[in-house]
Structure 1
Amino acid sequence: MPTPTDKTPRPLGRVLLTGATGMVGSSVLAALLNAESASEVVALGRRPSGRDHEKLTEVSFTDFGDTQAIEPYLIGTDTVFHCLATYSARVSRAEYEEITVDWLRALLTACETAAPKAAFCLFSAQGARAEGGGMSFALKVKGEAENALFASTLKRKLIFRPGYIAPSGPRSSWKPADYVFKPLQRLVPTIGVTSDELARAMLETAMRDPRDTVVLENSDMRALLE
């Protein structure tokens, strides 16, 4: 179903971005640096992105579970893009829950205090369900993360559930599965989006969708990109 659009786009303003060195986060960062609507981008991360831009401030940061440590970086923030994520196969279940849910809750609590009017954009996954459903442990945890956002007092809550995400970057960043799914995604676009397309959908929705609560499935994003 096509998403409604606002004829008067909302400025992204001062943006806080997490996960800027990941596949999705790096595409979101590139889109933000090219977006006139974003006046400043503060990227919290364990390592620098390697980008040099006049409106980018990179902060070496590891205390993602510490609400008070996050708060100073949120003051004056208009839009948050939370792209910090990990693959469930790379960490233990406890670590996956900590990164996906606990760190998100800390960020949300900090945002409620320091930037309560900010729009919050959450990178989730196809198959996640806020009611606790999902076909795998990872999707159930993603559903818990969505619940945390829905339970927050923030006014604008935007969730994105892409299917397969094809890397838009160089081949050095590819994983074995990408060599199968990326060509398939070209033949059957509906199975997913590229990381650059996902970034574009996230920015466009934050700027133009008039709703305060938005959950975009992969098909919604594909329709938005047409």
Structure 2
Amino acid sequence: MRVLLFGATGMVGQGVLRECLLAADVQEVVAVGRTALTQEHGKLHQVLHSDMLDFQPLENLLQGFDACFFCLGVSSAGMNEAKYTHLTYDLTLVAASTLARLNPQMTFIYVSGAGTDSSEAGKSMWARVKGKTENALLRLPFKAVYLFRPGVIQPLHGVRSKTPLYQSFYCVLGPALSFVRRVNPGWVVSTETVGQAMLAAVRHGAPHAVVEQADINRLAAERH
């Protein structure tokens, strides 16, 4: 399969990229982003693009893909709703609408978050905006859309968070997260299992469009 990856420099994106490069049935990964990756691999091709709200110049490069893993995301901390909506809803829908037109056969997987509000009417601003984004994605004419809602994510295999505070958290609590993930897989996922679950959803589908934390681990276990 040919995979398009957005957000490859983020923590989730790094893990997804690793699993794609390891997968025998992935022939090519095209990473689109503003920042160049330091990693090199025979399957990996990078497309640097500064304006993530205008993909018209790239349309000839964005065709013929089987899957898109959309791992771009920002924290809502310190943002008002208008700004967060612009960086979450607007940016995602511009990219997804373009891809749906160019690749109607594509499976589109969006990294959302545990606690997302599908009603779009709750008190939590970030959850409303994520819910609005999810609902809009489900209306696009893709082959399939899956909305991944991880909660606590443990970075593995050298994957690091770009947020220093989060990285400190993972360094201190890494052993505890490993223990919890073994004892109760519904509480913690890893960057590895998120990537494996995304690939499994493309290969075989998933029971529901919304893929919660425990579902991610189940899909990863059934990936082959």
Range of TM-score over shorter length: 0.7 to 0.9
Partner of 1:61: 49
Shift of 1:92: 5.0
Percent pairwise identity: 34
Residue 38 of structure 2 corresponds to residue 50 of structure 1: yes
Q: Of the two structures, which has the highest relative contact order with CA contacts closer than 8 Å and spacing of 6 or more?
A: 1
On the 8 A contact 1:80/1:119 being kept in 2, the answer is: yes
Which stretches in structure 2 are left out of the alignment for 5+ residues? none
State how 1:26-175 maps to structure 2 within 5 Å: 26-89=14-77, 91-132=79-120, 136-170=124-158, 173=161, 174-175=166-167
Shift of the 135–91 alpha-carbon distance from structure 1 to 2, 3 Å rule, reads closer
Shift of the 105–192 alpha-carbon distance from structure 1 to 2, 3 Å rule, reads same
Partner of 2:203: 207
Shift of 1:172: 6.2
Partner of 1:195: 191
Q: RMSD across aligned C-alpha pairs, in angstroms?
A: 2.3
State TM-score, norm by structure 1: 0.84
Shift of 1:23: 0.2
Count of residues paired in the alignment: 213
On the 8 A contact 2:70/2:110 being kept in 1, the answer is: yes
State TM-score, norm by structure 2: 0.85
Partner of 1:15: 3
Provide Cα deviations, 1:40-83, integer angstroms capped at 9, x if missing partner: 11110111121111121101112211142343332111111101
Which stretches in structure 1 are left out of the alignment for 5+ residues? 1-12
SS at structure 2 position matched to 1:175: helix
Letter in 2 for 1:137: M
**Distance (whole Å) between structure 2 residues aligned to residue 94 and residue 163 of structure 1:** 24
Provide Cα deviations, 1:89-116, integer angstroms capped at 9, x if missing partner: 2655433222211111111211122111
On the 8 A contact 1:134/1:143 being kept in 2, the answer is: no
Provide Cα deviations, 1:85-143, integer angstroms capped at 9, x if missing partner: 11122655433222211111111211122111111011111111322255621121111
On the 8 A contact 2:92/2:133 being kept in 1, the answer is: yes
On the 8 A contact 1:127/1:135 being kept in 2, the answer is: no
